[in-house]
Amino acid sequence: MGPEWAFEVKWDGYRLAIHVEPNGVRILTRGGHDWTSRFPAIAEAARQIGTTAILDGEAVVVDEEGRPNFSALQKALGGRGGKRSADEAILYAFDILYFDGHDLTRMNLEERRHILEPLFGSDGAIRLSEEIEADGAEFLASACSVGLEGIIAKHRRQPYTPGRTGDWLKIKCVESESFMIVGYEPSSVANGGIGSLLLAAYRGTAWQSVGSVGTGFDAGEAQELRATLDKLKTKRPVVDVKGKGIVFVQPTLIAEVEFRGWTDEQKLRHASYKGLRDVQDNSAVFKMP
pLDDT per residue rounded down to tens, the chain (289 residues): 678 899 999 998 999 999 999 999 999 998 888 999 999 999 999 999 999 999 999 999 998 888 898 888 988 888 666 678 889 999 999 999 999 999 999 999 999 999 999 999 889 999 999 999 889 899 999 998 988 889 999 999 999 988 767 789 989 888 889 999 999 999 877 777 899 999 999 999 999 999 999 999 988 889 989 999 999 999 999 999 988 889 999 999 999 999 988 998 999 999 999 988 876 677 889 999 8
Of the candidates 10, 154, 172, 274, the residue annotated as catalytic is 10
In the chain, where the domains are located: 12-129, 175-284
**Pairwise CA distance, residues 21 & 19, whole Å:** 6
The answer for residues whose C-beta is within 8 angstroms of residue 199's C-beta and 6 or more apart is 179, 180, 181, 182, 209, 210, 211, 212, 213, 255, 257, 268, 271
Burial of 11 (0-12, 13-18, 19+ CB in 10 A): buried
Q: Tell me, what's the pLDDT at 283?
A: 80
Let me know if 10 is a catalytic residue. yes
CATH of 175-284, one of 3.60.15.10, 2.40.50.140, 3.40.50.1000, 3.40.50.300: 2.40.50.140
| The model's pTM | 0.74
CATH of 12-129, one of 3.20.20.370, 1.10.1060.10, 3.40.50.10790, 3.30.470.30: 3.30.470.30
C-beta separation of 39 from 89 below 8 A: yes
**Pairwise CA distance, residues 101 & 94, whole Å:** 19
